Amino acid sequence: MVILNCEGELLTLVNLLDIRDFLMASSENDSDCELDVALVEGAVLSRQDEEKLKKIRERSKTLVAMGTCAVWGGVAAMDRGVDRMKLVEQVYGAMGRSYDSRPARALHEVVKVDLSLTGCPIEKAEFLSAAAHLLNGNPPLFVPYTVCAECKTRENNCLLTESGEACRGPLTAAGCNARCPELRVACVGCRGPAEDINIGAALATYAEKGTGPEEVARKLGTFAPSGAWGEV
């Protein structure tokens, strides 16, 4: 939907890209042709998903995990530690055991991923930048810092240190221009962990403001496995 909502840029994209398989945008798709770049969204939730992903990997020179579910597993991966069949049966009854349902996995847990474009949803500006880099034959450049850095750039008062809210901005990958903190809503970590985060310092600050490590781990595990954030 973010791609289709590129509005003024969409016609330029269509002219620059030879789109072969985009179910949401076209009724005519080639699901067998070779691809220079495959943008794949969503977590792997079933045997069918796994088989389809492996086929896409085989026919693609470059595979891009697009969105937090594809990059980290997302909300769908929150129940990975629960007995899957028991969970499905609780929801669907006895017939649930016949469903093709598996614990959610990120794409990189199943196939080789060349690039990752995170976000829930992805950011329009990041997608357009990544597309431009790929068209030029270069790997996209993504910012390595945290949402906190963007928040400070926008001169927002800190929700963590000043209000005591368990804002995940100090740990979360930037790229959203601190959209939620700008609206005085604490970051929920929907973009997953940033590079080289200082988890120790963050935990100390959270504890000082009344949020213990168990609660922090639970909150961080909403969009990415808690282990992806470091030792919590």
* pLDDT higher than threshold 80 for residue 46: yes
| Interval 117-142: pLDDT, tens | 999 999 999 999 999 999 998 888 88
Residue 123 belongs to a domain: yes
For residues 36 and 78, state if they share a domain.
Answer: yes
For residues 104 and 56, state if they share a domain.
Answer: yes
- Final residue of a domain: which of 79, 108, 135? 135
- Final residue of a domain: which of 99, 115, 135? 135
Residue 191 belongs to a domain: yes
- For residue 35, the enclosing domain spans 4-135
For residues 124 and 152, state if they share a domain.
Answer: no
Output the pLDDT for position 189. 96
For residues 13 and 79, state if they share a domain.
Answer: yes
Share of the chain above pLDDT 90, in %: 75
For residues 183 and 125, state if they share a domain.
Answer: no
- Nearest partner of 183 among 169, 193, 171, judged by Cα: 169
For residues 131 and 21, state if they share a domain.
Answer: yes
For residues 172 and 209, state if they share a domain.
Answer: yes
* pLDDT higher than threshold 90 for residue 116: yes
Residue 42 belongs to a domain: yes
What CATH number did the domain enclosing 117 receive? 3.40.50.700
What gap in Å lies between CA 149 and CA 208, rounded to an integer? 21
What gap in Å lies between CA 184 and CA 108, rounded to an integer? 34
- Final residue of a domain: which of 135, 168, 185? 135
| Interval 53-109: pLDDT, tens | 999 999 999 999 999 999 999 998 988 888 888 888 999 998 888 899 999 999 999
Which amino acid is present at 145? Y
Token pair in block for residue 180: 């939620």
For residues 126 and 183, state if they share a domain.
Answer: no
Q: pTM for the full model?
A: 0.90
* Tally of domains within the chain: 2
Sheet holding 60-66, edge to edge: 35-41, 60-66, 115-117
Query: 27 Cβ partners below 8 Å, 6+ apart?
Result: none
Q: How many residues does the chain have?
A: 232
